[in-house]
Chains A and B, each alone.
Chain A
Amino acid sequence: MMESLAVSLVNAVPALSGVPLWTMTLLVMVVVAAVVLTFALLYAGLATYVERKVAGDIQARIGPNRVGPVGLLQFLADGIKLLLKEDIIPAKADRFLFALAPYLVFIGSFAAFVVVPFGVGLIASDLNIGVYYVMAISSLVVVGVMLAGWSSNNKWALLGGMRAAAQIVSYEVPVGMALLPAVLIAGSLSLQDIVRSQGGLLGIFGWNLFHNPFTFVSFFLYYTAALAETNRTPFDIPEAESELVSGYHVEYSGIRFAFFFLAEYGDMFVVSALATACFLGGWHVPFLDAEALPVAWGNLFSLGVFLAKALGLVLLMMWIRWTLPRLRVDQLMRMSWKYLVPITFFNLLGVSLWLLVFHGKGIPAMIASIFG
């Protein structure tokens, strides 16, 4: 895709015809990466603001409202404050690992933005192993968290790091198995293909959510398991504020802490984006065929629809956080291994059998074919 973009750019602008193709491709890649990163960071910053406003609403108070109109620039103020803080590394901490850990977590979280299908043609790189890639790169977070817990030379951080590692690894299995139904229906791991497979004349009923009862359950299973992966309440035992005093990132301050923080919000978006793409129809615009529209309008509408759905799911995560208490670590592990894993497994079996028996048709498609 980058190559084709580069080619069309060279054709459009005669002045660039002298430049070799590989430089153009490289340039396009850098620009696209910059755009995605900017979006991701802007989103993460604004998400912290929205979280605080949502928290305020639920807790019968106002939330930030001083910095900027209705407090919108609060995240900039926080970011600048964190940048200006003193860089403290504990005396006996392992300096190299201590510095490395936030970067690993950050990369593990934001590298997944590359395959998020924002719109009809708006995807940084439509890898043909999209789903695998997201799951794999998100696992980098575990390494980062464990390094943070270990290198801080602090028993509380170590406990938090161990808990986090156990939790994230345990919930990888249900996440994977809950995503597979969508892959099976589309017949491809590429996220754009999965989204496209939910298109067509059925409109909203083309969503994978309504395809068959097993995928319906899958959506909720995926959302729950992914919530646990992102360490959000009710699964935030690794960073349980009131028990472990911030767990694995207790010794981090300033911009290093900001990386952990932003990575958490990035993770939330990736999870919601994946749920939208795989189950909620992705960027398909209601009542319109986005791919048939002129390129600019098609991209604009589909981007808007996709963001609305994904950010709606992010808002739901915030709502859950401020309502529910947290699970204890053994209850968490029990829930994953004794409940989620068997249920997702049988779910997957159910979807496979359904696709076999009904030749890949979902319930809405079958109802539509009855009525012609």
Chain B
Amino acid sequence: MKARAEALPTQEMLINMGPQHPSTHGVLRVILRTDGEVVVNARPDVGYLHRALEKIGERVTYAQFMPFTDRLDYLASMNCNAAWAWTVEKLAGIEVPERAEYIRVIVCELNRISSHLIAFGSFTADMGAFTPFLYAIRERERVNDLFEDICGNRLTYNYVRIGGVSADLPDRFLEKTKEFLDYFEPKIPEYNKLISYNKIFVHRLANVAAISGGEAVAYGLTGPNLRGSGVSFDLRRSEPYSVYPKLDFDVCVGTGERGTVGDCFDRYMVRINEMRESVKILRQAIAQIPGGPVMAKVPRAFKPPVGEVYFRAENPRGETGIYLISDGTVNPYRLKLRAPSFVTMNIFEKVTKGLMIADIVAVIGSFDIILPEIDR
């Protein structure tokens, strides 16, 4: 039988997936070479959304660059804003008031919840279950309402400033956040009952694209992707910044509960569990937040000292790093944005060899990439 199969001449198909495609989470193009349904080679082609953010950074001032970080990862805007603020503050040695740090942590964790909701919703929609996506959007609308209260925007917030936050929390914001948390917390077991442990869903994801811990570290995976492979590394715990040392939460790690450690299902479950942990962090932050000013004294024509600094923050998609070189003027000299999704795409070609076409979609969704981050 094997000899017969080898004697049959077959042709490899060259298929183009994207840039316009419902499941590639943006303008990602994957050049697939397949032998029937099995993928021989899947090469990602990025760059369709390149907006030269790093070049722009060299032209604008530090404060003016803040809205550009919004557009770096628009689903986790607050996190990117805060990462930029923390980087510049580390360079210039600015002391941020404690209330501002607590506010930053609160909005960052809320944004983590809404980003993971979109990751969860769009992933299940790619798998064919259309309903959880709408439930996720329904929850996310409530988070957007909270953000609208706080800064007026529902998507790209530009709320964090170098030295603090732009405005104090509005009236009743903390009560409304607590109401949202009480409403949201029982939803997570509901999602698990609806889709997470559904037999068909588990069969689609278990043992697909399993990445071992050592491989994940070598390929630069970070965040939920790294933790899904069993490596217990969370920047908020290992290299804590801001007020995270005062907050207590668990680091969610993939355990291979339905397949191998590091498969798509593990990465998906890490995100679900992280939402639960974010709720815990938020409750503590709301209880601990002190009064006080929300902005440090930063001169208008802000000139940080000459030097180079590298800061990294734990964003929903991984580790967002900013390498900042300052030459003492009002504009940064060099600004390198290390986006987690960009480095995650390194492993894509390796991990998709031998999978089926339907699994490519599962892999892209489980990595939770977002194109503006990749292309900057």
A residues sitting closer than 8 Å to B (CB atoms) are: 55, 58-61, 155-156, 159, 233-234, 236-237, 240-243, 245, 322-331
Contact = CB atoms under 8 A, between A and B. Distances in A.
Contact of A155 (B13, B23, B128): B13
Interface in B13-57: 13, 15, 21-23, 37
Given A155-B15, A240-B128, A243-B358, A325 B201 contact: yes
Of all A-B residue pairs in the complex, the 6 with the closest CB atoms, nearest first, are A326-B128, A325-B129, A59-B134, A325-B127, A325-B128, A328-B358
Given A242-B126, A245-B22, A330 B37 contact: yes
Given A59-B134, A241-B22, A328 B204 contact: yes
Nearest to A243: B361
Contacts, number: 75
Nearest to B360: A243
A193 B129 CA distance: 40
B135 interface: yes
Given A243-B358, A328-B359, 6 more contacts: A159-B15, A159-B37, A242-B23, A323-B194, A325-B204, A326-B127
B153 interface: no
A242 B37 contact: no
Given A59-B135, A61-B134, A328-B204, A242 B125 contact: yes
B17 to A, nearest CB: 9
Contacts of B138: 60
A64 to B, nearest CB: 16
Q: Chain B contact residues (Cβ within 8 angstroms of A): what range?
A: 20 to 34
A327 B200 contact: yes
B165 to A, nearest CB: 33
B95 to A, nearest CB: 46
A155 B361 CA distance: 17
A62 to B, nearest CB: 12
Contacts of B201: 325
Nearest to B124: A325
B357 A159 contact: yes
A241 B129 CA distance: 11
Contacts of B357: 159, 243
A323 B135 CA distance: 12
A249 B31 CA distance: 22
B21 A59 contact: no
Contacts of A58: 131
Nearest to B208: A328
Contacts of B359: 328
B330 interface: no
B203 interface: yes
A303 B206 CA distance: 47
Contacts of B126: 242-243
A260 B131 CA distance: 24
A299 B356 CA distance: 52
